[in-house]
Chains A and B, each alone.
Chain A
């Protein structure tokens, strides 16, 4: 069974631009979560989608948004990029049917903002 697939693997953007990251979950997984990982803050929760609905949201500004499609694939968008948005963005999928379903992470997208 294929794992969680994230594209692209690397991105370099300029301050003020916007970016869209993509995530394809494990087949059969209906929940997709997004996390940001930085050396200073560690792994922080952005949001979670289940059946095309945002079910949970972390403490990030409105510049960070996401959506989920009917095939469970998800996209995350960051607008008006700031230098501090440079990070590894990780997508994780789970069955989502139970609150304690384990999350499985993709390889991540490394975003560099210059």
Chain B
């Protein structure tokens, strides 16, 4: 059973702080890693994807991947109340072409 684990939270951070969201995965064959944001009652929205070890930055968001340790993280700098949502980590292996999702981490940014 391929698994993707996330702390369900809620993770509470003050406005302007850095929010750090973590995800671990069990399948060493995983090739692609995605972060989605889901507001309550809405569908998941793609934030970032990362394929190679290291960091990938896009605006206030940084994805970090460490395949040896089988974890991927998402950093949100200068957190805003509008960032309050559930963040879903998803992993795809090349063969299966299907995403396996974690259960999500609920982030609350306090004004």
The residues of A with any CB-CB pair to B shorter than 8 Å are 31, 33, 35, 42-45, 48, 55-56, 58, 88, 90, 99-100, 102-108
Query: Is the CB–CB distance between B32 and A100 below 8 Å?
Result: yes
Nearest Cβ in chain A — how far from B53, in angstroms?
15
Query: Is the CB–CB distance between A43 and B98 below 8 Å?
Result: no
Query: Is the CB–CB distance between B98 and A100 below 8 Å?
Result: no
Interface presence of B99 (CB below 8 A): yes
Query: Is the CB–CB distance between B88 and A43 below 8 Å?
Result: yes
Name the CB-closest residue of A to B88: A43
> Could you give 19 example pairs across A and B, Cβ below 8 Å?
A33-B98, A33-B99, A35-B99, A42-B104, A43-B90, A44-B101, A45-B98, A45-B99, A45-B100, A55-B97, A56-B98, A58-B98, A99-B95, A102-B49, A104-B46, A105-B36, A105-B43, A105-B44, A105-B45
CB-CB under 8 A from B96, the residues of chain A are 56
CB-CB under 8 A from B95, the residues of chain A are 99
Query: Is the CB–CB distance between B99 and A103 below 8 Å?
Result: yes
Which residue of A44, A45, A55, A107 contacts B42 across the interface (Cβ within 8 Å)?
A: A107
Interface presence of B67 (CB below 8 A): no
CB-CB under 8 A from B36, the residues of chain A are 105
Query: Is the CB–CB distance between A42 and B32 below 8 Å?
Result: no
Which residue of A44, A48, A105, A107 contacts B97 across the interface (Cβ within 8 Å)?
A: A48
Nearest Cβ in chain A — how far from B54, in angstroms?
16
Nearest Cβ in chain B — how far from A11, in angstroms?
16
Query: Is the CB–CB distance between B43 and A99 below 8 Å?
Result: no
- Residue of B42, B44, B49, B98 with most chain A CB atoms under a 10 A cut-off: B98
Name the CB-closest residue of B to A110: B41
Complex-state Cα separation, A90 to B44, whole angstroms? 9
Query: Is the CB–CB distance between B101 and A106 below 8 Å?
Result: no
Query: Is the CB–CB distance between A99 and B98 below 8 Å?
Result: no
> Known interface pairs A45-B100, A58-B98. Does A99 touch B88 (Cβ–Cβ under 8 Å)?
no
Instruction: Provide the B9-49 mask, 1 if CB < 8 A to any CB of A, else 0.
Output: 00000000000000000000001101010000011111001
